[in-house]
């Protein structure tokens, strides 16, 4: 997506005041857009919370570019490539006035986050960029044939996020990395189940073709008979898979640094509760977008603060 960038002759070091502004911008982006993640950040120490906001803000920019269907797919690919190239220049020590990149490169230095992991966040969103015909014919859909193919996509857009996050949280046991990958997969499967209708409108069907075939479901069924027993059984299968991966959180929480454990608990609990709410509503993700209410999230957050204090 981006060619190599030579290091700057003199490494650019942003002033502390620039970093304060940059992290503030990232926090504002996260507060406005991260409907679930932001709550978990509130129970972290300030330095770690700021770092996660910079990662989220970078991801948000990637997603916004990939999801902008008002411009052709080729142009979106070019914009993503330019954004990643700008990141590489900042990583190489070239000056930048882009607050998200200022904060992210500072976060990478502070927490020793490999540049390859950050690259993969952008490469994952690039997998979403396709040209969808106006009639949204099935031939123009982005779709994965097998669950294995879907897991590769989920690894790039979600499991990699987990690998970045645990470096900010802090951990010593290498086994934490596999658990972080599995928890990221659980989060992404939950998002996929919740967003079936919205994704279809963008020309994306993340549920694997082999799973649709198993329940005799076609993408068109999501429009014409979304609440059929077959569709519900399909979504129930994916939810069962997600619940299996959520078990990874039980082991991972105790592997990260103590000051980060409440935040990871809050995040995993919010997502688990979201999946449970979808189940209680019998997988009707078509008549409305299912969310946890602010009150439901605040209850979890309150318990997270108690965990932090005890």
104-123 per-position pLDDT tens digit: 999 999 999 999 998 988 88
Cβ neighbors of 187 (< 8 A, separation 6 or more) are 158, 271
Confidence label for 91 from pLDDT (cuts 50, 70 and 90): very high
The residue among 252, 247, 265 whose CA lies nearest residue 174 is 252
Q: How far is CA 269 from CA 104, 241, 249, 297, in A?
A: 27, 17, 9, 9
pLDDT at position 279, please? Answer: 97
Please report the pLDDT score of residue 138 as a whole number. Answer: 44
- Output the DSSP codes for 96-155: ---HHHHHHHHHHHHHT--HHHHHHHHHHHHTT--PPPTT--GGG-EE-SSHHHHHHHHI
Q: What is the pLDDT of residues 34-54, one digit of tens each?
A: 878 888 899 999 999 999 999
pTM higher than 0.95, yes or no?
Answer: no
Q: Say whether pLDDT at 230 is over 80.
A: yes
User: 160-209, pLDDT tens digit by residue?
Assistant: 999 999 999 999 999 999 999 999 999 999 999 999 999 998 889 999 99
Answer yes or no: are the C-beta atoms of 164 and 121 closer than 8 Å: yes
Helix (H) or strand (E) holding 307: helix 294-309
Task: Give the pair of three-digit tokens for residue 152.
Answer: 């590769």
- 133 pLDDT higher than 60: no
For the record, the structure tokens of 33 come out as 């857009």
Q: Within 13 Å and on the Cβ side, how many CA atoms surround 142?
A: 21
Strand partners, 256: 171
Q: Tokens at residue 135, please? A: 């009639």
Residue 200 CB partners (closer than 8 Å, separation 6+)? 136, 219, 222, 223
Whole-angstrom Cα Rg for the chain:
20
Domains observed in the chain: 13-113 (1.10.600.10), 132-310 (1.10.600.10)
Greater confidence, 1 or 73?
A: 73
Work out the pLDDT band at 23, boundaries 50, 70, 90. very high
| Residue 171 backbone dihedrals phi, psi, to 5 degrees | -160, 160
User: How far is Cα of residue 280 from the mean position of the Cα atoms in its chain?
Assistant: 24
């Amino acid at each position: 997506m981006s060619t190599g960038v030579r290091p700057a002759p003199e490494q650019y070091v942003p002033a502390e005041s620039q970093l304060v502004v940059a992290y503030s911008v990232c926090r504002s982006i996260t507060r406005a857009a991260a409907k679930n993640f932001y709550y978990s950040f509130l129970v972290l120490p300030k330095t770690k919370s700021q770092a996660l906001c910079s990662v989220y803000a970078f991801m948000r920019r990637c997603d916004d570019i990939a999801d902008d269907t008002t411009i052709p797919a080729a142009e979106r690919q070019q914009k993503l490539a330019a954004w990643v190239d700008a990141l590489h220049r900042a990583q190489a020590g070239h000056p930048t006035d882009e607050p998200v990149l200022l904060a992210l490169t500072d976060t990478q230095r502070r927490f020793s986050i490999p540049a390859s992991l950050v690259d993969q966040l952008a490469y994952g969103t690039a997998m979403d960029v396709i040209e969808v015909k106006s009639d949204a014919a099935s031939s123009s859909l982005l779709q994965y044939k097998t669950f294995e193919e879907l897991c590769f996509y989920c690894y790039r857009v979600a499991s990699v996020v987990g690998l970045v996050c645990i470096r900010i949280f802090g951990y010593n046991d290498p086994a934490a990395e596999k658990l972080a990958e599995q928890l990221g997969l659980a989060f992404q499967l939950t998002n996929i189940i919740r967003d079936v209708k919205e994704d279809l409108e963008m020309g994306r069907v993340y549920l694997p073709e082999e799973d649709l075939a198993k329940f005799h479901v076609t993408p068109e069924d999501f429009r014409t008979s979304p609440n059929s027993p077959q569709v519900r059984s399909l979504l129930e299968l994916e939810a069962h898979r997600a619940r299996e991966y959520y078990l990874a959180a039980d082991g991972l929480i105790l592997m990260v640094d103590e000051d980060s454990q409440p935040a990871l608990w809050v995040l995993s609990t919010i997502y688990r509760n979201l999946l449970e709410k979808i189940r209680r509503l019998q997988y009707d993700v078509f008549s409305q977008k299912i969310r946890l209410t602010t009150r439901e999230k605040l209850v979890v957050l309150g318990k997270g603060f108690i965990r932090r204090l005890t």
